[in-house]
């Protein structure tokens, strides 16, 4: 998401990465990698649990989840990864955001989202 961060921002979106590490580890990682978006340490899985992100101990932690929340705080699209590499392409997420923006709060088209494994809500 780093490479397309400005495109996300141009659509009025903010990217927030939520991870299982401690705040100190998150700060070090963000500083080392100079990530432009926000990072939220969630070592007790409170935020992740609210959005349905799974914790798989046999897969060494949390599986990826992408949640698109509109300006009113309504979840409009979700993708729960089955593996650590199962993350929708940025182009799919950008198209989802553009569709939300064009629909002024309507969810993106189901056909586009389903092709990429993202479910509309």
The string of pLDDT tens digits covering residues 87-118 is 899 999 999 899 888 875 444 444 344 445 55
Q: Which CATH number is 2-120's, of 3.20.20.70, 3.40.30.10, 3.60.130.10, 3.20.20.80? A: 3.40.30.10
Domain boundaries, the chain: 2-120
| pLDDT single digits (tens) 43-76 | 988 998 888 887 766 656 677 888 888 888 888 8
The average pLDDT across 1-11 equals 91
- Give the Cα separation of 84 and 112 in Å (integer): 22
- Give the Cα separation of 38 and 23 in Å (integer): 12
- Cα 24 to Cα 34, 69, 96, 119: the distances in Å are 15, 27, 33, 34
DSSP E strand boundaries for 1-118:
16-19, 38-41, 55-56, 61-62, 65-69, 75-80
């Amino acid at each position: 998401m780093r490479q397309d961060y400005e495109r996300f921002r141009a659509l009025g979106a903010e990217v927030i990465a939520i991870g299982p590490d401690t705040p100190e580890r998150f700060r070090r990682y963000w500083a080392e990698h100079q990530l432009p978006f926000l990072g939220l340490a969630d070592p007790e899985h409170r935020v992740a649990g609210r959005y349905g992100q799974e914790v798989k101990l046999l897969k060494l932690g949390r599986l990826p989840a992408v949640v698109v929340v509109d300006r009113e705080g309504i979840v409009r699209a979700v993708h729960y990864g089955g593996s650590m590499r199962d993350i929708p392409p940025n182009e799919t997420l950008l198209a989802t955001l553009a569709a939300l923006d064009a629909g002024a709060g309507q969810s993106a088209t189901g056909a586009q989202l389903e092709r990429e494994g993202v479910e509309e809500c």
